[in-house]
């Protein structure tokens, strides 16, 4: 399918249904590929292996027909019945209201058009070139995704989401209220900022208070029975069935997921991104008991999905070892920060991560359901956790 286009004020909007349709001149004008989340090789890997999701791309051009912004779009089928845990009671209330007003069916999928990255938390869905009126651009993108949804039945969505904006961006993204969007906070990203004086993992350990250093050494001792190997493209196929099972074990514990990640994507990511994409597998004798994945992007190491066999987790400190391995890797790669992502906030705070608040904007395509959605979103609060402070106070 060729791109569709429409004009908005002085900005021209063009839609592409595949990463391969975007001309090379667009990437050159945007100059965005130093951020791997906006690199065509990364986006192509996601698109190629996750066929349950419909991918699209919105590009804004200025009056001189130069590309100035890119938004990545995914349309996913979301079932209300897939929501579990602490949000289940809220969903029951939404389903009840929806049945009364005949606007929400729990049996049918709820189609959500997401402007962002379904598989990664953080600001990885909208790129805007420097020097642009970012408030105006974000409003144009919000309008563009609605117009895209109206182009065909295939693109039609029930709701529109722009996801994972940091606190520093809210003065820009709050423009979305003018477009009928509602906002809510989600589980924070847990971020560890690495001290520039840490040259080795031992430097990190030395920076910990005694209690947390003892805990770390205990985890390292328990996990010393594990054999940790770098996954190569050549041996990925034989590992994937077990890795997929372990991934499902972890993802099923989440309150809800917008979409399941097809682990076949790992092969393409390793082929396309090479050393910038990290894959490690954890063996206990001849059995795979865990794996981790991550991406080196600019000055950050971002943890991606992990898989854990929970029956070995306590005795061999599998997950805790993974957290320390991310830290060791980040130090060796000389990154400035490690983004551990959402979930398991307390244990991540015990290794030194601090929360980074994230805000999502969401609207239903119809005004009455959008009003109900607003009430629903007001009830959503990130889970509380006890923030640990593991580091010694630095001497002035």
Cα(359)–Cα(133) distance, integer angstroms: 21
- The dihedral built from the CA positions of residue 111, 68, 275 and 19, taken in this order, carries a sign that is positive
With vertex at residue 172, the alpha carbon angle to CA 185 and CA 335, rounded to the nearest 5 degrees, is 70
Report pLDDT for 4: 47
Report pLDDT for 10: 58
Cα(195)–Cα(212) distance, integer angstroms: 17
Report pLDDT for 78: 73
- Could you tell me the pTM of the whole model? 0.91
Residue among 320, 291, 318, 296 at smallest CA distance from 306: 291
Report pLDDT for 396: 58
Report pLDDT for 378: 82
Cα(81)–Cα(83) distance, integer angstroms: 5
- Each residue's pLDDT, cut to its tens digit, for the chain (396 residues) gives 344 444 445 579 999 999 999 999 999 999 999 999 999 999 999 999 999 999 999 999 999 999 999 999 999 987 655 554 444 555 555 556 566 665 556 567 778 899 999 999 999 999 999 999 999 999 999 999 999 999 888 889 988 999 999 999 999 999 999 999 999 998 899 999 999 999 999 999 999 999 999 999 999 999 999 999 999 999 999 999 999 999 999 988 766 566 789 999 999 999 999 999 999 999 999 999 999 999 999 999 999 999 999 999 999 999 999 999 999 999 999 999 999 998 889 999 999 999 999 999 999 998 888 888 888 788 778 888 999 999 998 765
Specify the DSSP class assigned to residue 1. -
Report pLDDT for 255: 60
Contact 156, 112 (CB under 8 A): no
The distance from CA 118 to its chain's CA centroid, rounded to whole angstroms, is: 6
Start-to-end C-alpha separation, the chain: 61
Report pLDDT for 373: 81
Which positions ≥6 away from 241 have C-beta within 8 Å?
none
Cα(135)–Cα(176) distance, integer angstroms: 9
- What H or E segment, with its residue span, contains residue 48? helix 40-49
Report pLDDT for 106: 57
- What H or E segment, with its residue span, contains residue 30? helix 24-30
Which domains does the chain carry?
4-188+357-378 (3.40.630.30), 190-356 (3.40.630.30)
Report pLDDT for 3: 44
Report pLDDT for 97: 59
Please give the structure tokens belonging to residue 93. Answer: 């209330």
Report pLDDT for 380: 79
Does residue 168 come out as left (phi exceeding 0), alpha (psi in the -120 to 50 range) or beta?
alpha
Radius of gyration (C-alpha) of the chain in whole angstroms? 22
Contact 160, 370 (CB under 8 A): no
Contact 341, 348 (CB under 8 A): no
Beta bridge partners of 363: 160
Cα(362)–Cα(335) distance, integer angstroms: 33
């Amino acid at each position: 399918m060729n791109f569709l286009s429409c004009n908005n004020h002085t900005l021209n909007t063009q839609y592409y249904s595949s990463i391969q349709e975007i001309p090379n001149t667009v990437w050159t004008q945007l100059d965005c590929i130093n951020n791997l989340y906006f690199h065509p090789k990364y986006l192509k890997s996601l698109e190629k292996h996750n066929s349950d999701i419909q991918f699209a791309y919105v590009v804004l051009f200025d009056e001189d027909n130069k590309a100035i912004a890119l938004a990545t779009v995914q349309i996913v089928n979301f079932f209300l019945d897939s929501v579990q845990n602490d949000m289940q009671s809220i969903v029951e209330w939404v389903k009840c209201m929806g049945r009364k007003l005949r606007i929400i069916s729990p049996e049918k999928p709820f189609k959500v058009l997401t402007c962002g990255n379904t598989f990664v938390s953080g600001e990885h869905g909208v790129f805007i070139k420097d020097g642009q009126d970012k408030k105006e651009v974000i409003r144009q993108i919000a309008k563009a995704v609605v117009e895209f949804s109206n182009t065909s039945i295939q693109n039609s969505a029930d709701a529109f989401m722009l996801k994972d904006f940091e606190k520093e961006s809210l003065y820009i993204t709050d423009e979305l209220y003018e477009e009928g969007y509602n906002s809510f906070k989600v589980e924070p990203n847990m971020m560890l900022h690495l001290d520039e004086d840490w040259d080795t993992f031992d430097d990190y350990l030395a920076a910990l208070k005694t209690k947390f250093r003892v805990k770390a050494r205990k985890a390292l001792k328990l996990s010393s029975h594990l054999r940790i190997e770098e996954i190569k493209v050549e041996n990925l196929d034989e590992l994937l069935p077990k890795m997929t099972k372990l991934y499902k074990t972890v993802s099923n514990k989440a309150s809800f997921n917008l979409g399941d990640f097809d682990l076949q994507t790992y092969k393409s990511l390793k082929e396309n991104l090479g050393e910038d994409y990290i894959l490690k597998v954890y063996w206990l004798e001849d059995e795979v008991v865990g794996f981790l994945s991550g991406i080196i992007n600019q000055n950050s190491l971002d943890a991606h999905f992990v898989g854990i066999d929970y029956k070995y987790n306590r005795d061999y400190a599998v997950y805790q070892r993974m957290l320390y391995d991310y830290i060791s890797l980040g130090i060796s790669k000389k990154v400035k920060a490690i983004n551990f992502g959402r979930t398991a906030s307390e244990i991540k705070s015990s290794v030194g991560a601090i929360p980074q608040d994230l805000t999502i904007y969401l609207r239903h395509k119809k005004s009455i359901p959008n009003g109900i959605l607003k009430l629903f979103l007001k009830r959503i609060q990130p889970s509380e956790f006890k923030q640990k402070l593991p580091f010694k106070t630095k001497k002035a």
